[in-house]
Amino acid sequence: MALLEIRSVQAGYGSIQILHGVSLHVDAGEVVSVIGPNGAGKSTTFKAIMGLVTLLGGEVVFDGSSLVGQEPDRILAHGLAYVPQGRVVFGQMTVRENLEMGAYLERDRAKVRASMDHVFSLFPRLGERRRQLAGSMSGGEQQMLAMGRALMMHPKMMMLDEPSLGLSPRLVDEVFDKITEMARGGLTTMLVEQNAARALEVSDRAYVLELGRNRFEGAGRDLLADPEVRRMYLGGYGAP
C-alpha cells in the first residue's frame, strides 16, 4: 500500500480550478518529485494534500486514512510534514525557538530535546547558531531551519515545496545533499522543484504536471533521459 495516494484530485482557489484530476502515489522510503512549468499545479497539489485549498473532487489518503475535510493541524498530526516555499521562518525568534515551534504538538520535553539533537546532528550549522535570530541568517540557513523544524515531530513523510528557490548554486548543492542524506536515513520525501534536473537526479520516481493534469511519470533517471521531457521541461538538459 502506498504511504500517500491522491486519486483524481480536482482543486483550486475559490471558483478558479487549478487541478483537473491529478493522481500520484508515494511509497514508504521513496523520494518522489513533482515537476512541470509554471502554472502546472505543482504547489497547488501540495496545498490540496495539506487541506490549504478547496478540494473539488477526488481522494487523498495518507497512511491508510483519508485526509479529505481535515484541518491542516490534524493532517500534520498524522505524520505528514510540509515545508512551504519561501523559507518561512519566525524571523524574530532564535533557531532553537523556531525548532521548538515545530514540536508544538509534543508535550514530552525529553522527546523535544532528543528531536532537536537529531536536527542538530543533521544540520550542524543550526546547532552552532541555535541562539541566533532566524531573520539574520542566510537564505540557505533559513531553508535548512525550515526543514529542521519540519523534522521535529519525526514525520513519516516530508513534503518540500521549492527547497532550492532563490539559493546560490553552492547552497542548492547543499540542500539537495541534505535531501539525499535524509532519504538514506529512511525519510519518505516528496518535493516540488523548479530545478527539475536536480530533482530528477535525486528522485526514485517523478511526475510531470502540465495545466493541472498528469503528463508524464516514471523513474527519475528515465525521465531525465527522455528526449521529450528534456526538450519540454529541462531546457535540453543532457542533450548531445
Q: Given pLDDT bands bounded at 50, 70 and 90, which one contains residue 238? A: low
Please provide the DSSP assignment of 7-76 as one string. Answer: EEEEEEETTEEEEEEEEEEE-TT-EEEEE-STTSSHHHHHHHHTT-SEEEEEEEEETTEE-TT--HHHHH
Q: Where exactly are the structural domains of the chain?
A: 1-79+157-240, 90-154
pLDDT tens-digit readout, 176-204: 999 999 999 999 999 999 899 999 999 99
pLDDT tens-digit readout, 116-164: 999 999 999 999 999 999 999 988 899 999 999 999 989 999 999 999 8
Q: How far apart are CA 35 and CA 91, in angstroms?
A: 30
pLDDT tens-digit readout, 46-90: 999 999 999 999 999 999 999 999 999 899 989 999 999 887 899
Q: Which amino acid is it at 86?
A: G
56-89 in b/e form (b: 16+ CB < 10 A) is eebebbbeeeebeebeeeebbeebbbbbbbebeb
pLDDT at 240: 42
**CATH architecture label of 1-79+157-240:** 3-Layer(aba) Sandwich (3.40)
Cell 483524481 found at: 8
pLDDT at 168: 86
Q: How far apart are CA 73 and CA 2, in angstroms?
A: 22
Q: What are the φ and ψ backbone dihedral angles of 117, each rounded to 5 degrees?
A: -60, -40
Q: How far apart are CA 54 and CA 28, in angstroms?
A: 27
Q: Given pLDDT bands bounded at 50, 70 and 90, which one contains residue 32? A: very high
Confidence (pTM) = 0.90
